[in-house]
Amino acid sequence: MTRWIACRLEFRGRHRAHPMPPGRYTGLFFLDEATALAAGHRPCAECRREDYNRFMALAGERRADDLDARLHEERLGPRPQAAVEELPDGAFVLVGGEPWLVLGDELRRWTPGGYTKRRRGPSRAT
């Protein structure tokens, strides 16, 4: 089973001082929630319970194992095509091979350092 989980840096007095403990897991830190979800991660059931419950309900899953298996398949599968106007805020699209965040009727160019350019959404993207 491949679990990709987005956690809080601090939870109930615990602080992740070492994001990559040997032999345990690789801690990744994302610019924002949209980036974590686009990368195929789901909210942690322990430190982000409310987000986890909402995510499970929206995904229509009851068990984390089932959702993790589905997310893993989706990460490996082909990228779907959709009209930008049909996508919710927070979805990512590729335009000219570059990642853009859908936000209202515009797109924002994603970079590892933050969002840069803005543009009106095109009619089709992948």
The sign one gets for the Cα dihedral 9, 26, 36, 49 is negative
Q: What is the mean pLDDT of the chain?
A: 85
Which pTM value belongs to this model? Answer: 0.75
Contact 112, 102 (CB under 8 A): no
Three-state secondary structure readout of the chain: CCCCEECCCEECCEECCCCCCCCCCCCCCCCCHHHHHHCCCEECCCCCHHHHHHHHHHHCCCCHHHHHHHHHHHHHCCCCCECHHHCCCCCEEEECCEEEEEECCEEEEEECCEEEEEEECCCCEC
More confident residue, 84 or 67: 67
Distance between CA atoms of 69 and 87, rounded to whole angstroms?
23
Distance between CA atoms of 78 and 80, rounded to whole angstroms?
6
Residue 25 pLDDT grade (very low, low, confident, very high; cuts 50, 70, 90): low
Residues 3-14: what's their mean pLDDT?
A: 82
Q: What is the pLDDT of residues 73-92, one digit of tens each?
A: 988 989 888 888 888 899 99
